[in-house]
Amino acid sequence: MKKTLLFITAFMPLFLMAQSGFTYLVPSGGMTIQGSPILKMGIEYNNRYYEGWEIAFEATLKSDMNNEESYLTGVYFEPLLFRKKDALSNLRFGVLGGSQQQTFAMAAGAGIELSFVLKGNIIFSIQQDTKMVFGADRIFRHGLLAVIKFPI
């Protein structure tokens, strides 16, 4: 029941068209410096000034070099840094919460995103992500992710 309510709450904004701009489905994947894979799924809302909000669900999985595993969800704010013809860059600031190896964890995230617009308004991005995870053995996590944004 809780999973169903979480799913409905997370995806209900897809059916609301009150915002002015674009809505994207944002799957991404990458690695941390410690060698742990990162999988992320999000929904991003952009307004006409290329600033955006992203609701993200993120999983950092165990690896051979790192035994930490976390599942976090939260919100990122993405103000525009610069924009060219088919490229733009955003700063990313966010707050996440979830579980870190059977305990509660909070995280503050920051980073930068470089995006290239392809045909059909599909966007390819490279994200640098730095998180400060409270409640984890390793407080700082640095990662690099490849992202494809599909318009909804």
Interval 20-69: pLDDT, tens: 568 999 999 999 988 889 999 999 998 877 788 999 999 988 877 777 78
pLDDT, mean of residues 78-102? 89
Q: What is the CA radius of gyration of the chain?
A: 16
Q: What is the average pLDDT score of the chain?
A: 84
The Cα angle at residue 109 between residues 74 and 32, in degrees rounded to 5: 105
pLDDT of 16 strictly over 70: no
**What pLDDT, on a 0 to 100 scale, did the predictor assign at position 65?**
74
Write down the pTM of the prediction.
0.80
Distance of alpha carbon 34 from alpha carbon 68, whole angstroms: 10
Least confident range from 39-48, 92-101, 134-143: namely: 134-143
Q: Are 132 and 99 in contact (CB under 8 A)?
A: no
State the pLDDT confidence band at 13, using cuts at 50, 70 and 90.
low
pLDDT of 130 strictly over 80: yes
Distance of alpha carbon 95 from alpha carbon 83, whole angstroms: 25
pLDDT, mean of residues 112-128? 92
